[in-house]
Amino acid sequence: MKTKIYILYALMSIFWGMSWYFLKVSLIEMPLLWGLSIRFLMAGIIFWGVYYFRKDRVRFTPEVKIVYLLITFFNYSLCYILTYWGLKYIYSNLGSILWSLFPLCVAVMAHYYLPDEKISIKKFVSIAIGLIGTILLLYEGGSLGGRYIFYGISAMILSVVLAAWPNVYLKMHAAKINPFHLNAVGMTSSGLIMMAASLMLETGQKMPLDGMNLFALFFLTVPGTVVTWGIYIWLFTYMRVSQISYVAFFPPVIAIIMGWLLLDEKLPIITIIGAGLIMLGGFLINFDPKNRKTHIKKKLNLLPED
């Protein structure tokens, strides 16, 4: 099972990293809300198919209903709209770097709601390192995107903060959640909401149907949504929420390389330092050498298994 978890975790990280490039490409010509609605409705249909194929059944409780509402409204709707809108004005690699703040935000939220994940001195230092990195990004922000660069950065940071609480609440009730059904309901609902908004706010805009836009939409829908979110929510049953949020650390590496090679997105030295500090903070907040040593001793049969 551990090998399966590691493989799926790596696959999720790779696809999320690649998604930033395709998201930036799709935003060049595709209406924001319309593109999002198609992406989520198609992904929702796929998840409904998987859910019924597996013949699972969901038992709704008040806590489960709240999880569905939080994930649908915050993660799938509001956070994605903010991320899409913000990325219109900043580099794709900068968007991925800012999402590296996610583990830090989750750690703060988890401190208040998960008794096993209190903020220690090490976590406090990690958060401080990440915040310093964010300040450096804001300092150099004028050279990392378009005319409204600071609006884009602000929207991205707000999206990260809003996404943290639903993930903590999901972890609190993960044992009661069916990941396929949650994704099916959440993405279908969000897709319908955004389609209605698009019909009201994006009248007169057209979605180009050339090969690049269609492939970008396909990648964002299948690998970038169905695969990544399917794995992500499934992992809540087997990993701590802080460990899962650590996924935000890996995609920026892929996004930076793709942005540099394919979109000519260059990063000034101050930005590279800021990005490094943010990712270092995300790494340190979840790195626990004591737990790692204990795990190794158990593997060597020096300690009894739990």
Query: Tens-of-pLDDT digits for all 306 residues of the chain?
Result: 577 887 888 888 889 889 999 999 888 888 899 999 999 999 999 999 988 888 777 778 888 889 899 999 998 999 999 999 999 888 888 888 888 778 778 877 777 776 666 767 777 777 787 778 777 766 665 555 656 788 888 899 999 889 888 888 887 777 788 888 998 999 999 999 999 999 999 887 777 777 888 899 999 999 998 998 888 878 877 777 666 666 666 787 888 888 888 888 877 787 778 777 777 776 676 566 555 444 434 434 444 444
Q: Is residue 305 included in any domain, yes or no?
A: no
User: Of 194, 174, 282, 193, which is closest to residue 235 (Cα–Cα)?
Assistant: 174
Q: Which residues of 217-235 are buried (b: 16+ CB within 10 A; e: fewer)?
A: bebbbbbbbbbbbbbbbbb
Q: Which domain holds residue 83?
A: 2-299
Q: Is residue 304 included in any domain, yes or no?
A: no
Q: Is residue 86 included in any domain, yes or no?
A: yes
Q: Is residue 306 included in any domain, yes or no?
A: no
| Alpha carbons 20 and 200: distance in angstroms, whole number | 27
CA distances from 155 to 67, 88, 158, 159, 172 (A): 23, 11, 5, 6, 27
Give the total number of structural domains in the chain.
1
Q: Is residue 97 included in any domain, yes or no?
A: yes
Its pTM surpasses 0.85: no
